[in-house]
Structure formats: structure tokens, C-alpha cells
Amino acid sequence: MLFRSLLLIYLNNIQAQNNCCNNIGNQPGWYNIVINPDSPYPACSQSYPGFYAQDNCKGQLLCPLSYYCPNAGLDSPIPCDAGKYCPSQGLTAGIACPGGYYCSSGSINPTICPIGSYCPAQAPSFIPCPKGYYCPFSGIVIPQICPMGYYCPQTGLSAPIKCPKGTYNSNTGSTSFLNCSICSSELFPG
């Protein structure tokens, strides 16, 4: 019985090579579901969401890792969009990249944002902290504003720079040491 079943599958596969879904114009995205050895016509169907069919003479294929297959009738999988990741097979949509991480096109997993940068939700890449801000650790969603008494003169800064001795800065978000004013004994005795 097992031998007969295997032989039937083998013969069906051979017949599939000559029995494609030609009645639909040989279109990609369609595949041959079952071949009835007694029928000259194949049983054709569009590939289901989560699958694709490149060859209309064979079956549909499961959408692979780092891709998604949103619609019926796809003839090839779609690479996961930037800002999303596709961690499993058979997905019909990418998963939004969480804040503190970035996801480039075709990502399987989110990548944590490095120190000196920030990543809002659905970031396609990390963003260097702008002047006047700093990003002290990895996974920052929103950059931290440069505090009073400090300045942040460059992009990608991981720590603010303290104003020189004998100076002060009463503003936040300063981008230059020129924002640090000289202490005056009349204004700030001692």
C-alpha cells in the first residue's frame, strides 16, 4: 500500500510538469493544487496569504524569514520593509520595530540603538543625537537635552561636557562652550 501511494505521488509529480495551470494564462502566483491522474486538467488556485507560487506547475511555498506575503496570488515574497522586522515564516505583514531599536529592510530581528544615538518606534536606522542633546546609553527612544552647566557641541554625543571652571550656563540645550558665561562676583559671590 505504501509503495502504491509513493508511486502515485511520483507519477502525479511527473504529470505536474506537463500539466500546469495553463487555463489561466500561465500566470505566476497560481499553482497546481492536486493533479487527478484521470483528468487532463490541473486543479489550479492562487497562492494563499503567507505563501507564494513562483512556478504554476508546482505547489505554493511558505513565505520565508525576513519576508512577508500579504496577498493571495503572489509569485514572489516581499522583503520586510524598513522600520519593520519579519522573525518567522508565513507572515502576511511585518512587525513594527519597537522604540529603542531600528530595523533595516529585510530584518529578521530588531537591532538595539547604539550609545550616542536614538531610535523612535519604526526607525529604519539609528539617528545620531543632535547638537544640544546627548544619548548616554543604548536603546534610547528620545535624546536627552543638554542640562544647565553643560554644553553638547556635536552630533552623536554620549555625555554632556561640563562648562569650564569659573563659568556657568543657566540654559539647557547649549551647543557651544561659548554658552558658558564667566562667573562674576557681583552676580554670583564666592
Helix, coil or strand: residue 6: helix
Is it the case that residue 186 has pLDDT exceeding 70?
Answer: no
Distance, CA of 40 to CA of 158 (rounded, Å): 70
C-alpha cell at 49: 496569504
pLDDT tens across 125-176, in order? Answer: 999 999 999 999 999 999 999 999 999 999 999 999 999 988 888 899 998 9
The CA distance from 146 to 157, in Å, is 10
Nearest one of 84, 114, 121, 125 to 99, comparing CA atoms: 121
Amino acid 98: pLDDT: 97
Q: What is the pLDDT of residues 71-112, one digit of tens each?
A: 888 888 999 999 999 999 999 999 999 999 999 999 999 999
As a residue count, the chain comes to 190
pTM over 0.85: no
